[in-house]
Amino acid sequence: MVTDMLTEAEEKMRKACEALSRELAGLRTGRASPALVERLHVDFYGVSTPLNQLSNISTPEPRLLVIQPWDKSAISAIEKAIMKSDLGLMPTSDGRVIRLAIPTLTEERRRDLVKLVRRRVEEGRVNVRNVRREALEDLKQFEREKLISEDEFHRGQEQLQKLTTAMIEEVDRIGQKKEEEILEV
């Protein structure tokens, strides 16, 4: 019973780490990456659709993203979505493809992005701690209902704390890696 609860908690914590990784992948680092725009939602025929479902996104050069819509009528909607986003990029189109030139980041913009990364990392830590809190409540409930002994409760609590510490270290490692990527000139 305790091991099942710990396994479930570990799975939820891993999902929190994966969500943080996906979220940080969308932050601009000074070089082109399809992850920068693939989660961008485009209002196409009245439906909010992720950009990666409307087009092919490629990086032919380190500082250039090329978006090739499968339906040419989507070009203007994609351009509008890019301009509305907080990416700060200006799309250029030739009627068939959209090009996004990724400018080099200024020192001030790098500092702002690092602050944003730190804020997202803290949110990731909070998510992991929330999973720990829920699991701890389950453990306490098991003990109250006499489903587990006091010793099992304390062992489970120790294992949960070790798991939480490991996952918070993983969150910090993900954030540190992204910070280094952003600060790299």
Encode pLDDT of 54-86 as tens digits.
888 888 888 888 999 988 888 888 888 888 887
Q: Which of 103, 89, 105, 66 is nearest to 184 (CA)?
A: 105
Helix axes 2-25, 107-144, angle to 10 degrees: 170
Condensed to tens digits (0 to 9), the pLDDT of residues 30-49 reads 677 787 787 788 888 888 88
Tell me, what amino acid is at 137?
E
So where are the chain's domains?
2-25+106-183, 34-101
Can you give the pLDDT of all 185 residues of the chain as single tens digits?
888 889 999 999 999 999 998 888 777 666 777 877 877 888 888 888 888 888 888 888 888 889 999 888 888 888 888 888 877 778 888 888 999 888 777 888 788 888 888 999 999 999 999 999 999 999 999 888 888 888 889 999 999 999 999 999 999 999 999 888 888 76
Look at domain 2-25+106-183 and name its CATH class: mainly alpha
Does pTM surpass 0.85? no
Q: Which of 103, 127, 122, 129 is nearest to 179 (CA)?
A: 122
For the domain covering 34-101, report its CATH number.
3.30.1360.40
